[in-house]
Amino acid sequence: MGTNSPNWDYLILTASNDRQASAYRSLLARRPLERVRKTLVVADLEGKRIGSGGSTVVCLREVLGAERRAGESEAETLQRLRILIVHAGGDSRRLPAYGPCGKIFLPVPAGEGQTLFDLLVPEFLELPAGAGGQVVVTAGDALLKIDMSAVRFDRPGITGVGSWAEPEDAARHGVFVEGSANQVRLYLQKPGVEEQRLAGAVKAGRTILDAGVLSFDGAAAAALVRAFPGTKMMLEKGVDIYREVCCALGAEATAEHFVKSAKGSGSAWTEGELRELFPALAGIPFWVEVSPRCEFLHFGSTRQLIESGQALSGQRVMVMNSVVAAEIEGRDAWIEGCRIEAPVKLGGRNVLVGVDVTEPLELPAGACVDVLSGEGGWFIRCYGVDDDFKRPAEKGGRFCGLPLLEWIAAVGGEAADFWSGAGERSLWNARVFPVEAGPEYAKYLWMFEIANAAAEQKRAYLNARRLSAEEIALLSDQDEFHARRWLEARTTRLGSTMSERGR
């Protein structure tokens, strides 16, 4: 199968660790892909986050190990293959309810048993072919709809896909500074509006936003592999494909620009290390194709889960993979993997995942509950729709609607009760989630209104075994999580009613 074929030699999904990779393999086995010769799941090295660039290199090494013929160079091997790499690893820190499945396999309200994978990957498989081999690298955390009618990937080197956007919106992403004939002059990562203007990126008041699709020809993919020959830097500092790779590309890129752009967007590499890396990447031709239409539905956070789900389904209350035998009253809610046997009243902007409702349930606005089983019991997770699991506690990290440190003080605890050792303290690594012998979430709903909690509730909570979201990500039972979805893949309503307030 060569590059003149509309088909693909490899579809590769990346995973955060071996546990997630095993689950991905099972999920892929349930989805025969006729246009793909082989599927692979590649976990990050040693279970450590190595970045999209590091993960891309590891994927290409796997393919080279399987496909390289005697006497063949890396470029020659890759020039006869067509490979799609979808980065699907990650901790889901902003979307904890779907940590076990990763964002790529989160259920979406688009038909029975549908996941983001089922909507996203077929679109990628329709991408136009390249010339001289092709490696397409993209991400699996947003539903991307691109008009590819005028896009071509047959130029030598690397071609990115962009779309016109307001400079203020582009400031949080990658930006192409276009030269003549689709050539990229510079690549900017998370540039401010003034930086975009000074670099010449703003034209007629708009900027070319990176849509997150990169197509490498075989020679460029081989150059990427050669630029990162070992694993030390990947494991220690990570390699982001946009920051430590794309910022080095472009007809006018210099080592100074590379260092400034990479460091300015958070690179952990030293200036000397970046300068040493620059020559290995700077000579790769870089192009941009601007799609006339590009739409994103992001599923990267709990709030986006609700908003994008509504945009996709047109429904105010989304119910998926669930059995519903009682009334649900509410609006702007996401209910998935649940069994509703008693009335549910939701205040708005709520998420329920994996919950069995056997007694009447009422949640205040913004309250989220998800329940997981795993090693040691059931993990009960109550949190707010806007809680930021990544933000340090000292810099405004919140929990259940309050600053995290304020919530800890209100429950009668101290920092040492929730974190051990030095290092950054955030909701991600705070031991705030109780572990129970069964899915007994109702006894912890007071966490949303801690000012009204009884002293005995707080005392029992502090004495209970508690884990962090970081620990739960490694201990959750992947098989049970997915089996629940397969069992309830068709949402059924057994004599139930549903009402929506606030229309």
Burial call 271-292: b when 16+ CB within 10 Å, e when fewer: eebbeebbeebbebbbbbbbbe
Under a CB-based contact definition with an 8 Å cutoff, are residues 181 and 96 in contact? Answer: no
Q: Give residue-wise pLDDT tens across range 294-325.
A: 888 989 899 999 999 999 999 999 999 999 99
Domain end marker among 264, 296, 328: 296
With residue 429 as reference, give the H or E element that holds it: none
Rounded to the nearest angstrom, the gap between the alpha carbon of residue 245 and the centroid of all alpha carbons in its chain is: 20
Same domain (yes/no): 384, 262: no
Number of domains composing the chain: 2
- Residue 337 is assigned to a structural domain of this protein: yes
Q: Which residues lie below 8 Å from residue 138, measured CB to CB, with a gap of 6+?
A: 84, 85, 86, 87, 124, 144, 212, 213, 214
Listed in order, strand segments (DSSP E) in 150-261 are 158-165, 174-178, 184-189, 207-216
- Residue 283 is assigned to a structural domain of this protein: yes
Read off the pTM.
0.91
pLDDT at 493: 66
With bands split at pLDDT 50, 70 and 90, how would you rate the model's confidence at 2?
very low
Distance from C-alpha of 257 to C-alpha of 138, rounded to nearest angstrom: 24
- Residue 120 is assigned to a structural domain of this protein: yes
pLDDT at 474: 86
344-346 and 328-330 as β-strands: parallel, antiparallel, unpaired? parallel
Distance from C-alpha of 491 to C-alpha of 350, rounded to nearest angstrom: 19
pLDDT at 380 over 80: yes
- Residue 301 is assigned to a structural domain of this protein: no
Same domain (yes/no): 217, 361: no
Q: Which domain holds residue 107?
A: 8-296
pLDDT at 20: 86
Same domain (yes/no): 255, 320: no
Same domain (yes/no): 204, 272: yes
Same domain (yes/no): 233, 125: yes
Under a CB-based contact definition with an 8 Å cutoff, are residues 49 and 123 in contact? Answer: no
Q: Which two tokens stand for residue 202?
A: 């703003």
With bands split at pLDDT 50, 70 and 90, how would you rate the model's confidence at 497?
low
pLDDT at 403 over 50: yes
- Region 400-408 average pLDDT: 96
Same domain (yes/no): 415, 474: yes
Q: Which residue has the higher pLDDT, 228 or 89?
A: 228
Per cent of the chain over pLDDT 70 is 95
pLDDT at 316: 95
With bands split at pLDDT 50, 70 and 90, how would you rate the model's confidence at 1?
very low
Per cent of the chain over pLDDT 90 is 81
Under a CB-based contact definition with an 8 Å cutoff, are residues 124 and 136 in contact? Answer: yes
Domain end marker among 252, 267, 296: 296
Helix ranges restricted to H, 247-288: 255-264, 271-282
- Region 379-393 average pLDDT: 95
Q: Is 182 left (phi over 0), alpha (psi -120 to 50) or beta?
A: left
- Region 350-377 average pLDDT: 97
pLDDT at 488 over 60: no
**φ, ψ dihedrals at 306, nearest 5°:** -70, -50
With bands split at pLDDT 50, 70 and 90, how would you rate the model's confidence at 3?
very low
Q: Give residue-wise pLDDT tens across range 440-454.
A: 999 999 999 999 999
Distance from C-alpha of 283 to C-alpha of 251, rounded to nearest angstrom: 9
Give the chain's mean pLDDT: 92
- Residue 386 is assigned to a structural domain of this protein: yes
Domain end marker among 261, 296, 331: 296
Same domain (yes/no): 211, 262: yes
With bands split at pLDDT 50, 70 and 90, how would you rate the model's confidence at 5?
very low
- Residue 305 is assigned to a structural domain of this protein: no
- Region 112-131 average pLDDT: 92
Same domain (yes/no): 285, 352: no
Q: Which residues lie below 8 Å from residue 58, measured CB to CB, with a gap of 6+?
A: 42, 44, 45, 50, 234
- Region 79-94 average pLDDT: 90
Q: Which residue has the higher pLDDT, 359 or 1?
A: 359
pLDDT at 282 over 90: yes
Distance from C-alpha of 436 to C-alpha of 439, rounded to nearest angstrom: 7
- Residue 339 is assigned to a structural domain of this protein: yes
- Residue 303 is assigned to a structural domain of this protein: no
Q: Give residue-wise pLDDT tens across range 173-206.
A: 999 999 999 999 999 999 999 999 999 999 999 9
pLDDT at 490: 57
Least confident of 70-84, 254-268, 365-379, 468-482: 468-482
Q: Give residue-wise pLDDT tens across range 133-185.
A: 999 999 998 898 888 777 999 999 999 999 999 999 999 999 999 999 999 99
Residue among 57, 358, 404, 88 at smallest CA distance from 225 = 57
Q: Which residues lie below 8 Å from residue 272, measured CB to CB, with a gap of 6+?
A: none
Same domain (yes/no): 281, 400: no
Q: Give residue-wise pLDDT tens across range 259-279.
A: 999 999 999 999 999 999 999
Same domain (yes/no): 286, 324: no
Q: Give residue-wise pLDDT tens across range 40-80.
A: 999 999 878 899 999 999 999 999 999 999 999 999 999 99
